[in-house]
Amino acid sequence: MFWKFDLHTSSHLEALLDKEDVTLSELMDEEDVLQECKAQNRRLLLFLCQDQCMQELVTMITTEPPAGVEETKRFKYPNIACELLTCDVGVINDKLGNEEPLLETLYAFLEQPSPLNPLLASFFSKTIGNLITRKTEQVLNFLRRKEGFLSLVLKHIDTSAMMDVLLRLISCVEPPPLRLETLTWLNEEKLAQRLIELIHPERDEERQSNASQTLCDIIRLSRDQANQLQEISQPDPLLTVLESQESVEQLLQNMFSGERTESCIVNGIQVLLTLLEIRRPVVDGVMDAQGFERSYTVNSSILLAIEPHLRHFHQLLLEPPKRNPMLTTLGVLDEPLGNTRLHVARLVASLLYTSSASHAVVAQELCRLNTMDLLLDLFFKYTWNNFLHLQVELCVALIGSMFFSHKLFQHCHLVQRILEAWEENDKIQSEGGMRRGYMGHLTRIANTVVHNLEKGPVHTQISSLITELPEDYRGRWETFVDQTLSETNRKNTIDLVNTYTFAVYSSCFKLMHITKLCTFKLSTCFLQANTAVFEACAKERIQPFDDDEEDIWEEKEINYATQTKSRNR
C-alpha cells in the first residue's frame, strides 16, 4: 500500500546525505534537489544552511565561472544555487538575511567593474529581490548603511537586472510606513534626478534606455500605489519630484542639449508620455493613444515645463536625426519617417488631449506653430505608416475644441485634403494600383468630422466653417458624405459571416465528419438488444460497496491475523 500511493522519498538523495564526506556539488547534481528543498526536506535544509554551504552558494551566483568549461554547463551550478537561495524556504531566507558576512559577499558583486555578466546579474537581482520581499527590515538596514549602494546600482544600470533591484525597493516593501521610509531614503539619495541625468546624448544608448524605462516604471508604480493606499496622507516623494516642473525642465534640457540623437529624444519622450498618461474616453471607436485604463490627473507643472520646448519638437518633425534609406516590401524609402518623428506625433496627441482638458495654452501654442498642418503633411506622405496615421487620427478626434476646429478647417484645409486624397486613391485603384494604406484611418477621420458636424459640442461653429468653404469643395463634400462615405460605412458594417448560417454549416460539417468515420451500418434493433444484455450483465457482476470496507487511511494496529483475514475475504 505504501508503494501504491508513491509516498516514498528520494532514496538516492537520502543516501548521499548519509555520506560523511558528501559535497555540495554532489547534491546539486541530483535532479530532485530543488524539489526536495521546496518540500523542506529537513536533512537537506540542515546541510544547505551550514555556514560553509551558504557561503559557497552565494559565491557561485556572484563569481564568474571558469572559462574553460563547456558553455552549456558553465552556469549550471550558479543557476541551481540561485534557485536554492530563492526557493522561498524560511530557514534559507533567515540564514541569508540575518548573516552579515553572506550579505557582504552578495553586495560585493556590485563592486565589480563594468560591464557585469548579465546572467550573474540576473541571479544577484533575483536573490536580493527575494530578500527585500522576505527579510525587508534586515536587508534595508544593511543597504542604507552602504553609502555608495545607489551609485553602484546606477553605475551598472546598462545591465537590465539592475532596474529590477530598484523597482523591488519601490514596489515590494511592506508595510506602507516602511515603504514611505524607503522612498524618502531613495529621494534623499536623489534617485529621480540621477536617472534623469542618464538620459543625455553623451551617454550610451543602453544606459539611456534602461534609465528611461526605470523612470516610467517608477511613475506607474507610484501612481498605482497612491491609488491603492489612500489612507496614507503623505505624498510619494519620488513621484512628487518626477512631476515637478524642475525635473521635467531638466529632462528637456538634456534632450535638446548638444547633438540631438534619436536615442536621447525617444527615451526622453517616453518619460514625458508616461507623465501625461490619463484615462481617455473612446471617441467613435478611436482608442486612446497609449491604451491605458488607469485614471490620473496630470500635474499642470508638467505642461508648463513642456510648453517652451514645443518649438523644438516641431523642428524635429521638419529636421529629424538623419537616417539611411530603408528597403521595404514596396520599394526603397529614401527618407524613412523614423522613430523620432513617430514619438513626437505621439507626444503631440497626448498634449492636445491633456491640454484641451486642463491647460489650453499648450494647444494654442501647437496651433500657432502649425504643428497639426505638418502632421497632416506627414500623414499623406507616408502612405503605409499606420502607426503615424493613428496618432494623426487621434489629434483630429479632438475637433470638439472651437479654437482647434477653426485651425483644422481654415488653416489645415482638412476637408479639402480628405476629398483630394480620396479621389486620388480612387484614380489609382481604377488604374489597377494598390489601395492607399491610410484609407481606413481617413474614413474614420471623415466620420469624426461628420459626427462633430451633426452632434459635436461646437457643431454650430463647424457648420459655419463648412459653409465658408469654396462652393466647389462644399458641393463635393456633401456628395462625398451622402454617397461615397455612406456606402463605405455600409460595407464596413456588413458581417463577413452570418452567425446563424455559420452555426448551421458547422453542425452539418461535424455530422458529415462523423458519418465518414463510420464504415459499417448498425441497425436500431441490434443496438437495443446489446444494450439490454450489457445492463443485465453489469447488474449481476457489480456488487454494491460494503460499508465496513477497510479504510486504507485508518490508523490501526497491524498484525498477522488481520492480514490473513483480509486475504481470505
pLDDT, tens digit (0-9, with 9 covering 90-100), for 405-450: 888 998 999 999 999 999 999 999 999 989 999 999 999 999 999 9
Q: In 3D, which of 163, 254, 246, 272 has the Cα closest to residue 202?
A: 254
| Predicted local confidence at residue 322, as pLDDT | 86
| Spatial separation of the C-alpha atoms in residues 466 and 413, rounded to whole Å | 11
Please say whether the dihedral angle defined by the alpha carbons of residues 130, 134, 138 and 143, taken in this order, is positive or negative. positive
Tell me if 330 sits within 8 A of 270, measured CB to CB.
no
| Spatial separation of the C-alpha atoms in residues 35 and 317, rounded to whole Å | 57
Region 212-230: mean pLDDT is 87
Give CA torsion, residues 485, 488, 492, 496, to 10 deg: 160
Rounded to 5 degrees, φ, ψ at 396 are: -65, -30
Q: What is the mean pLDDT of the chain?
A: 84
| Spatial separation of the C-alpha atoms in residues 6 and 94, rounded to whole Å | 32
| Predicted local confidence at residue 94, as pLDDT | 94
- Please give the DSSP secondary-structure letter assigned to residue 494: S
| Predicted local confidence at residue 524, as pLDDT | 57
| Predicted local confidence at residue 288, as pLDDT | 44
Which of 278-282, 286-290, 451-455 reaches the highest mean pLDDT?
451-455
Angle between helices 371-381 and 386-396 (to 10 degrees): 140
pTM: 0.81
Cα-to-chain-centroid distance, residue 117: 25
| Predicted local confidence at residue 513, as pLDDT | 58
| Predicted local confidence at residue 518, as pLDDT | 57
| Spatial separation of the C-alpha atoms in residues 473 and 480, rounded to whole Å | 10
Instruction: Give yes or no for residue 382 having a pLDDT over 90.
Output: yes
Tell me if 378 sits within 8 A of 388, measured CB to CB.
yes
Per-residue pLDDT band at 527 (split at 50, 70, 90):
low
Region 137-152: mean pLDDT is 94
Per-residue pLDDT band at 265 (split at 50, 70, 90):
very high
pLDDT, tens digit (0-9, with 9 covering 90-100), for 333-360: 888 999 999 999 999 999 988 875 556 7
Residues paired with residue 286 on neighbouring β-strands, in sequence order: 283
| Spatial separation of the C-alpha atoms in residues 195 and 175, rounded to whole Å | 26
Per-residue pLDDT band at 555 (split at 50, 70, 90):
low
Q: How many CB atoms lie within 10 A of CB 413?
A: 16
pLDDT, tens digit (0-9, with 9 covering 90-100), for 466-514: 999 899 999 999 999 999 999 999 998 877 666 555 565 566 666 555 5
Owner of C-alpha cell 550573474: 120
- What ranges do the domains of the chain cover? 15-173
Instruction: Give yes or no for residue 546 having a pLDDT over 60.
Output: no
Higher local confidence (pLDDT), 281 or 461? 461
Region 268-297: mean pLDDT is 64
Report how many helices (DSSP H) and strands (DSSP E) the chain contains, helices first: 34, 2
Instruction: Give, in degrees to the nearest 5, the angle at Cα 540 between 534 and 544.
Output: 115
Q: Tell me, what amino acid is at 312?
A: H
| Spatial separation of the C-alpha atoms in residues 372 and 416, rounded to whole Å | 15
Region 174-192: mean pLDDT is 93
Range in 105-119, 230-244, 544-558 the model is least confident about: 544-558
Q: What is the CA radius of gyration of the chain?
A: 35
Per-residue pLDDT band at 211 (split at 50, 70, 90):
very high
Q: Which pairs from 473-481 meet CB under 8 Å and 24+ separation?
A: 473/415, 473/416, 473/419, 476/419, 477/415, 477/419, 480/418, 480/419, 480/422, 480/446, 481/446, 481/450
Higher local confidence (pLDDT), 52 or 538? 52
Peptide bond into 175 cis (omega under 30): yes
- Residue 125's contacts (CB-CB under 8 Å, 6 or more residues apart) are 161, 162, 164, 165, 168
| Predicted local confidence at residue 291, as pLDDT | 47
| Predicted local confidence at residue 294, as pLDDT | 46
